[in-house]
């Protein structure tokens, strides 16, 4: 009986965490699509397109790096 309550509590916490992450996942997804379109449009070769895809995956890291560089931190 005790295990059932622990499993229920864990499942409830997981569902709540997924609800809270929904908005940020949507923002990241839209940013990914926008970055992917941008990088693919500017690619002149297949290799540059692949690099563009990888850059689109990690665009938040570029954003934070440039922001901290701008703020001289």
Assess contact for 60 and 31: CB atoms under 8 A: yes
- State the pTM of this model: 0.59
Is the pLDDT score of 28 beyond 80?
Answer: yes
Q: Is 71 helix (H, G, I), strand (E, B) or coil?
A: coil
Query: Which domain, by its residues, includes 30?
Result: 2-70
- Please give the Cα distance from 50 to 60 (Å, whole number): 18
What is the chain's length?
73
In the structure, what pLDDT confidence band is assigned to residue 16 with cuts at 50, 70 and 90? low
In the structure, what pLDDT confidence band is assigned to residue 20 with cuts at 50, 70 and 90? low
Specify the number of domains making up the chain.
Answer: 1
Q: What percent of the chain has pLDDT over 90?
A: 42
pLDDT score of 25: 78
DSSP state of 42: T
């Amino acid at each position: 009986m005790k295990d059932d309550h622990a499993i229920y509590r864990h499942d409830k916490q997981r569902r709540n965490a997924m609800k809270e992450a929904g908005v940020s996942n949507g923002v990241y997804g839209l940013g990914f699509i926008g970055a992917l379109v941008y990088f693919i449009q500017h690619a002149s070769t297949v290799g540059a397109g692949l690099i563009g895809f990888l850059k689109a995956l990690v665009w938040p890291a570029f954003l934070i790096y440039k922001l901290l560089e701008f703020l001289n931190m």
